[in-house]
Homo-oligomer: A and B are copies of this chain.
Amino acid sequence: MSTSAASAQQLAAGEAAAENRVQRMKLLSGKEDYYGGIIVEMDEPMEPSAFVSILRASISNWKVQGKKGVWIKLPKELANLIESAVKEGFNFHHAEKNYLMLVYWIPDTPDTIPANATHRVGIGAVVFNEKNEVLVVQENSGRFQGSGVWKYPTGVVDEGEDICIAAEREVKEETGINAEFIEVLAFRQSHQTFFTKSDLFFVCLLRPLSLEIQLQEVEIAAAKWMPFEEFKAQPFNHNNELLENIIQICSSKKGGMYSGFTPVPTSAAFSDEKSHMYLNSSCLSHNLSKQ
């Protein structure tokens, strides 16, 4: 959506006063959302002064229409318009590498603008072979660098990526091992890990489909299959409650005593997007809904 030639004729009949105000003015055009909001994606270069005029006229128009939240997405290339939007009362909402999303609340009522994303999501991948060895790596950077600690592969879940897919991808990328996701053994929520944001870290169990390690040398200094007893005995583990608990979970799992959460494909109520629900399927007596 760009600044369009949407003219005053598009205004509802009978809104004569507002119509007069904007008659000679182009208006911003946007996409409506489900909550009385309007989303404008700017793409045409514009002088700040022209932008302010068109923005004011558009807000008058949306006000007449009873709109609530106004979202303006400004690509990096239109950074010259940000200051003007702020002066017109817009707040920042979120930003990605190449754009900033600003938001403005029209009504006098308290705003119901949805919160920004608050969490980064990571995975740890526990992979055992049939010799009771666990797949471990040493990293080239980060806090474990040079510590001698062998850890299970970890990584960040990409935007739009399923947790179960991310676990398989990280194992493949770091070690060359093909592995199949089995279940989430546990997860940890921690705060203030990245500026004000929180982390959700899912520890996943995978089954190897191949055994030969091929190192990804940019991120990983070394990778190997390590006897579980040796992994457990690393002094580092005893200062780390997460790892101590994971080691206990793995021991229980080996004895057939532990069940985590397995993914079940689930449709969302209001969209065609497929999603995954993770639950303790070993405890359910009946079949789950369509799988």
Taking Cβ atoms with an 8 Å cutoff, the residues of A that contact B are 34-35, 76-77, 79-80, 82-83, 85-86, 91-101, 112, 114-121, 141-143, 156-160, 162-163, 185-192, 194-198, 200, 239-245, 248-249, 252, 257-261, 264, 266-270, 273, 275-280, 283-286, 288-290
Contact = CB atoms under 8 A, between A and B. Distances in A.
B118 A157 contact: yes
Contacts of A280: 186, 249, 258-260, 280
A188 B289 CA distance: 15
Contacts of A186: 261, 277-280
B190 A163 contact: no
A185 B278 CA distance: 9
11 contacts: A79-B86, A95-B101, A117-B120, A117-B197, A187-B261, A187-B277, A188-B276, A189-B278, A244-B289, A257-B284, A257-B285
Contacts of A189: 162-163, 275-276, 278
A83 B279 CA distance: 47
A285 B258 CA distance: 9
A94 to B, nearest CB: 5
Contacts of A290: 241
A76 B141 CA distance: 34
A123 to B, nearest CB: 12
Copies in the complex: 2
Contacts of A242: 266, 268-269, 277
B91 A98 contact: yes
Given A92-B95, A200-B119, A245-B289, A283 B188 contact: no
Contacts of A34: 143
A13 B163 CA distance: 49
A96 B101 contact: no
A106 to B, nearest CB: 16
A100 B283 CA distance: 46
Most buried by B among A112, A264, A268, A288: A268
A121 B276 CA distance: 15
Given A194-B114, A197-B159, A278-B186, A252 B92 contact: no
A96 B188 CA distance: 24
Contacts of A93: 95, 97
Query: Which 7 A-B pairs have CB atoms at the shortest separation, nearest pair first?
Result: A190-B275, A186-B279, A95-B95, A92-B95, A117-B117, A79-B83, A258-B283
Nearest to A186: B279
A97 B112 CA distance: 14
Nearest to A190: B275
A268 B198 CA distance: 13
